[in-house]
């Protein structure tokens, strides 16, 4: 029995995404097709930015995959003490806000590295290695080890087994992870803004610069269109390659994947993985150390300075940014949970059209955060809907990115619910509304709590869209960190480090709350 009026659940998410995502995106496309905006394509500087964006993304992707594959194998195929701890250490960077990652590497790397390609690539590897470990490792866990055992029985060495058996089976997962890493690095904003320089500007940063500093909206819109086309091209090519390279196989249970560390090759891979885990922890530890390092001694000076207003009238105390971020996060979580929960119900309860709605709600994740923020800015900056001076536009932009995560969290729970429970309730005379409240809602509530945790983490760390939408007198934690890092002096860098540690702690608490709420039936994202 399907719950009646399922499409009533879909009205709110369709309206919300249509108004606050599709409409702004179409506005960006319209602006980008204007003659004024197209002039940007004739500039040599524009193509230098495009070339650097592509080159750094390719380098970052190649290095991330090369370092991530040994770690994926070690934590998903080998049984060793501390395996879960190593997996957590390799995964934590991905949930950190990008501006914090940039600040961490500014504290760790020599000052001469700031503004270089090497600094950006190293930070991208740190940030995205979790994608390879999770995506490839999750698939590797389910590979049937009997194929490899058969090859070894026939006398094949480790390299031959890898080349002829493991790699052909693993290629689709590696390609999927590579596509994700490329998209994340191609559209990178916070890391490049903090670590980049005049000659290391990406399309994302150039869009931001043209909008905020040059007020060149047509030129920024053209770059947004160019970036969207590049992202779509990568998705199409990656999808076709995945289908072409896929090998039909019978996947094994995850419980039989782990095996003891015995062979010399396994010990080598494990040693490399442990070194990577230590290296991943260094930037965060360097950030903590910098927040307490005052000149040639240790102290709490930078932490005390967080409560002091800056030198200009537009500056607010850094500590006040915590209140602003938490306020925005609360509103964004409320929007994401309500809209995402309704969308998950609509997708789960509808026989036809659910997949289309699911795909449409995933589009904000595949669109640049800068493009989303820029679209909201130019769309709702004129009557009849002028939201420039309203605080609600910031949580709306943050919720657009968080809604897909809520849907991915809630949907498996709803689909796993036994429909016979609803049938029994209906047989006993329960109305559809009462059946939903008594059967679906109790199961739904825990999954919504998990989704709320993810939404809170996304909202607290969101930088790309928020940098366009937040008022100068009400900066969020990532924006305040970016402001401090853009100013010279030990006081500003020390406060940025202290505020980054605060943001890491707040984000970690949100993720911890999510993990505590996670139910075995909820599945993975």
Whether the pLDDT of residue 479 is over 50: the answer is yes
Whether the pLDDT of residue 55 is over 50: the answer is yes
Question: pLDDT of 103-132, one tens digit each?
Answer: 788 778 888 888 889 999 999 998 888 888
Asked, colleague to colleague, whether 1-32+308-525 and 43-286 share their fold, the answer is yes
Question: pLDDT of 73-99, one tens digit each?
Answer: 888 777 788 877 787 778 777 767 777
Tokens coding 523: 């599945």
The span from the CA of 222 to the CA of 374, in Å, is 12
Superfamily of 1-32+308-525 according to CATH: MetI-like (1.10.3720.10)
The span from the CA of 390 to the CA of 481, in Å, is 23
∠62-230-185 over CA atoms, to 5°? 35
Reported as a pLDDT band with limits 50, 70 and 90, residue 262 is: confident
Reported as a pLDDT band with limits 50, 70 and 90, residue 443 is: low
Question: pLDDT of 398-437, one tens digit each?
Answer: 999 888 878 877 776 676 665 665 655 666 666 666 666 6
Whether the pLDDT of residue 14 is over 50: the answer is yes
CATH topology of domain 43-286: MetI-like fold (1.10.3720)
- Whether residue 193 contacts residue 64, with contact meaning beta carbons closer than 8 Å, is answered with no
Whether the pLDDT of residue 296 is over 90: the answer is no
Which of 125, 128, 131 minimizes the C-alpha distance to 63?
A: 125
- Whether residue 456 contacts residue 329, with contact meaning beta carbons closer than 8 Å, is answered with yes
Residue 310, SS3 per DSSP: coil
What pLDDT, on the 0 to 100 scale, is given for residue 315? 61
Tokens coding 176: 């999927």
Give the ranges where 18-116 is alpha helix by DSSP (H).
23-32, 35-38, 44-77, 83-95, 98-108
What pLDDT, on the 0 to 100 scale, is given for residue 334? 92
Q: Whole-model pTM?
A: 0.71
Domain ranges of the chain: 1-32+308-525, 43-286
What pLDDT, on the 0 to 100 scale, is given for residue 336? 92
Counting DSSP H helices and E strands in the chain, the numbers are: 25, 6
- Whether residue 247 contacts residue 168, with contact meaning beta carbons closer than 8 Å, is answered with yes
∠381-383-387 over CA atoms, to 5°? 45
Mean pLDDT (whole number) for 48-76: 90
Reported as a pLDDT band with limits 50, 70 and 90, residue 252 is: very low
Tokens coding 487: 């100013």
Expressed in angstroms, the distance from the first to the final Cα of the chain is: 27
Residue 259, SS3 per DSSP: strand
Question: pLDDT of 175-229, one tens digit each?
Answer: 878 887 888 888 888 888 888 888 888 988 888 888 777 777 788 878 888 887 8
Long-range contacts of 516-520 (CB under 8 A, 24+ apart): 517/446, 517/449, 517/450, 517/453, 518/450, 519/413, 519/446, 519/447, 519/450
What pLDDT, on the 0 to 100 scale, is given for residue 99? 77
The span from the CA of 109 to the CA of 195, in Å, is 10
């Amino acid at each position: 029995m399907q719950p009646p009026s399922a499409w009533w659940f879909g009205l709110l998410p369709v309206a919300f995404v249509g108004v606050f995502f599709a409409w702004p995106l179409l506005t960006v496309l319209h602006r980008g097709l204007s003659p004024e905006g197209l002039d940007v394509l004739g500039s040599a500087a524009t193509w230098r930015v495009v070339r650097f964006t592509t080159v750094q993304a390719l380098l970052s992707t190649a290095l991330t995959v090369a370092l991530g594959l040994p770690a994926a194998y070690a934590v998903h195929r080998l049984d060793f003490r501390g395996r879960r701890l190593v997996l957590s250490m390799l995964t934590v960077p991905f949930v950190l806000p990008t501006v914090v990652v940039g600040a961490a590497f500014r504290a760790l790397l020599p000052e001469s590295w700031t503004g270089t390609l090497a600094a950006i690539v190293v930070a991208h590897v740190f940030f995205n290695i979790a994608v390879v470990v999770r995506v490839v490792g999750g698939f590797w866990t389910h590979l049937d080890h009997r194929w490899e055992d058969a090859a070894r029985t026939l006398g094949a060495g480790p390299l031959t087994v890898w080349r002829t058996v493991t790699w052909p089976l693993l290629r689709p997962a590696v390609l999927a992870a590579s596509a994700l890493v490329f998209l994340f690095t191609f559209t990178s904003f916070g890391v490049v803004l903090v670590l980049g320089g005049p000659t290391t500007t990406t399309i994302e940063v150039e869009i931001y610069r043209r909008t905020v500093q040059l007020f060149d909206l047509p030129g920024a819109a053209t770059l947004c269109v160019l970036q969207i086309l590049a992202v779509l091209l990568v998705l199409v090519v990656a999808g076709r390659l995945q289908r072409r390279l896929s090998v039909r196989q019978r996947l094994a249970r995850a419980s039989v994947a782990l095996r003891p560390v015995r062979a010399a090759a396994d010990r080598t891979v494990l040693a490399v993985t442990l070194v990577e885990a230590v290296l991943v922890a260094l930037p965060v530890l360097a950030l903590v150390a910098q927040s307490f390092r005052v000149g040639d001694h240790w102290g709490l000076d930078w932490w005390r300075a967080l409560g002091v207003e800056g030198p200009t009238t537009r500056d607010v105390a850094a500590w006040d940014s915590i209140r602003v971020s938490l306020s925005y996060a609360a509103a964004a979580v409320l929007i994401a949970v309500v809209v995402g929960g309704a969308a998950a119900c609509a997708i789960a309860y509808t026989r036809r059209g659910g997949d289309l709605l699911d795909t449409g709600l995933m589009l904000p994740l595949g669109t640049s955060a800068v493009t989303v923020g820029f679209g909201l800015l130019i769309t709702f900056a004129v009557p009849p809907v002028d939201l420039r001076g309203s605080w609600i536009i910031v949580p709306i932009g943050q919720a657009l990115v968080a809604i897909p995560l809520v849907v991915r969290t809630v949907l498996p729970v709803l689909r796993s619910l036994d429909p016979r429970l609803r049938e029994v309730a209906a047989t006993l005379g329960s109305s559809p509304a009462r059946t939903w409240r008594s059967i679906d809602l109790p199961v739904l509530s825990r999954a919504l709590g998990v989704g709320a945790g993810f939404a809170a983490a996304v909202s607290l760390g969101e930088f790309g869209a928020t940098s366009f939408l937040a008022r100068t007198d009400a900066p969020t934690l990532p924006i305040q960190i970016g402001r401090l890092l853009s100013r010279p002096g030990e006081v500003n860098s020390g406060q940025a480090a202290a505020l980054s540690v605060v943001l890491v702690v707040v984000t970690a608490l949100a993720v911890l709350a999510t993990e505590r709420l996670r139910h075995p039936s909820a599945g993975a994202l």
